[in-house]
């Protein structure tokens, strides 16, 4: 059970609802007998090794609830991926401060950190309860039906593409929007959620679950443009060819890499720029525009899913309950059991740690450049009702008198 001092931290990319999980865990832990203090580590595991803590026991419930409604990581975050030595340093600090329970809100890497810490505590025979609280806009945590942070980010992507499509309808041409998600296409797939009419965009959706071929891509874009006089395209940042090489590596003369040597897929507009240039040179179409949605997707103030907000709070509270009543470490996981109902379980850390979930085949169109009705059924309850874009009636067109042909 939770005892002594409790520590909570946030890791990885922020989300619009990550602070709901923070508040849920802190408030529930503070109610439990035997809990002396609840600390928060600034900037994730880096703050732990630096002993940079806040005493969240002294925060009022009202302020925690207001912080919960604020996007982004209130404690600060980190991209550090601790190895065994790093985790041993974390463990020394936890022991020195008498931490009996550690909650870490994050994705794949955060759950792997807890897995290592859990093993270190077991070897040292130190009573440490490690509970992972799920969070990622990529929606790529295994075992989970979906992950807190994804529904709000998906709502933003759907709304943004609806707006981009309206713009593209007014000033026709080709528009390419590059979306986050790394190796999972869930967020890019959400670009299609606001479509209502048969010719609404995005008309083409490219996901990392399918190999990307430049010749096929250009052919699809040109065919759509010839048919509709315009084309809106959603592309995942993680698209790759049949060899697994990211398309950005193929197109760019130089690519950025992160601190861990991985190709920098996020935080740069390179892929959108490179694809627009490829379309211009490969099709001869002049009006081609591209955007990279970037960090806007993660913590947008005005686009929060109410389902996401509620479930993010609940996984935090459930983490504190599991710490008290479950006699094991683990990761809180979300399971869909109805339409629309979810349940929460405590799953083994090694079932989630360091693993990546991708979109199932049934969610992706056989053409490889769109999503299916099964995806809409999966995602729409999470995102909630979207704003509706209405059109003027084409039936009210006035007949021509001079009969001049339309300029292109």
CA distances, 56 to each of 67, 166, 309 (Å): 12, 46, 21
Omega cis (within 30) before 202: yes
The burial of 406, by beta-carbon neighbours within 10 Å (0-12 exposed, 13-18 middle, 19 or more buried), is given as exposed
∠ CA 277-182-240, nearest 5°, is 50
∠ CA 123-128-133, nearest 5°, is 120
Element of type H or E holding 167: helix 150-170
The burial of 368, by beta-carbon neighbours within 10 Å (0-12 exposed, 13-18 middle, 19 or more buried), is given as middle
Rounded Cα distance, 248 and 269, in Å: 10
Residue among 109, 112, 138, 329 flagged as catalytic: 138
* Residue 177 dihedral angles phi and psi, to the nearest 5°: -115, 125
**Is 138 one of the catalytic residues?**
yes
236, 185 in Cβ contact below 8 A?
A: yes
Rounded Cα distance, 129 and 88, in Å: 16
Rounded Cα distance, 14 and 31, in Å: 27
Q: Which residues are catalytically annotated?
A: 138
């Amino acid at each position: 059970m939770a005892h002594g001092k409790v520590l909570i931290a946030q890791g990885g990319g922020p989300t619009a609802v990550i602070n709901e999980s923070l508040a849920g865990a802190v408030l529930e832990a503070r109610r439990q007998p035997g809990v002396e203090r609840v600390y928060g580590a600034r900037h994730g595991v880096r703050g732990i090794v630096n002993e940079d803590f806040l005493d969240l026991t002294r925060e009022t419930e009202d302020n925690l609830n207001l912080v919960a409604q604020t996007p982004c990581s209130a404690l600060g975050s980190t991209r550090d991926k601790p190895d065994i030595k790093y985790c041993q340093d974390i463990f020394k600090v936890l022991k020195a401060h008498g931490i009996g329970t550690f909650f870490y809100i994050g994705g794949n890497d955060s759950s792997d950190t807890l897995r290592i810490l859990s093993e270190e505590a077991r070897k040292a025979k130190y009573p440490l309860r490690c509970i992972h609280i799920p969070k990622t806009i990529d929606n790529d945590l295994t075992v989970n039906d979906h992950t807190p942070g994804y529904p709000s980010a998906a709502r933003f992507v759907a709304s943004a593409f609806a707006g981009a499509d309206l713009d593209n309808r007014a000033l026709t041409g080709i528009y390419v929007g590059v979306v986050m998600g790394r190796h999972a296409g869930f967020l890019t797939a959400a670009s299609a959620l606001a479509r209502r009419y048969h010719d609404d965009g995005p008309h083409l959706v490219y996901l990392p679950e399918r190999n990307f071929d430049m010749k096929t891509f250009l052919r699809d874009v040109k065919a759509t443009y010839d048919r509709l006089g315009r084309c809106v395209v959603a592309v995942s940042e993680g698209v790759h060819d049949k060899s697994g090489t990211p398309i950005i590596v193929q197109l760019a003369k130089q690519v950025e890499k992160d601190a861990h040597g991985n190709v920098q897929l996020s935080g740069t507009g390179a892929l959108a720029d490179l694809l627009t240039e490829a379309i211009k040179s490969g099709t001869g179409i002049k009006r081609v525009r591209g955007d990279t949605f970037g960090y806007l997707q993660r913590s947008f103030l005005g686009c929060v899913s109410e389902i996401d907000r509620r479930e993010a709070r609940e996984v935090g509270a459930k983490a504190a309950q599991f710490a008290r009543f479950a006699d094991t470490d683990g990761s809180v996981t979300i399971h869909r059991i109805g339409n629309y109902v979810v349940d929460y379980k405590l799953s083994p850390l090694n079932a989630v740690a360091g693993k990546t979930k991708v979109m199932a085949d049934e969610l992706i169109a056989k053409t490889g450049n769109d999503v299916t009705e099964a995806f809409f059924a999966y995602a729409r309850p999470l995102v909630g009702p979207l704003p509706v874009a209405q059109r003027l009636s084409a039936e009210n067109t006035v007949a021509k008198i001079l009969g001049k042909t339309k300029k292109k």
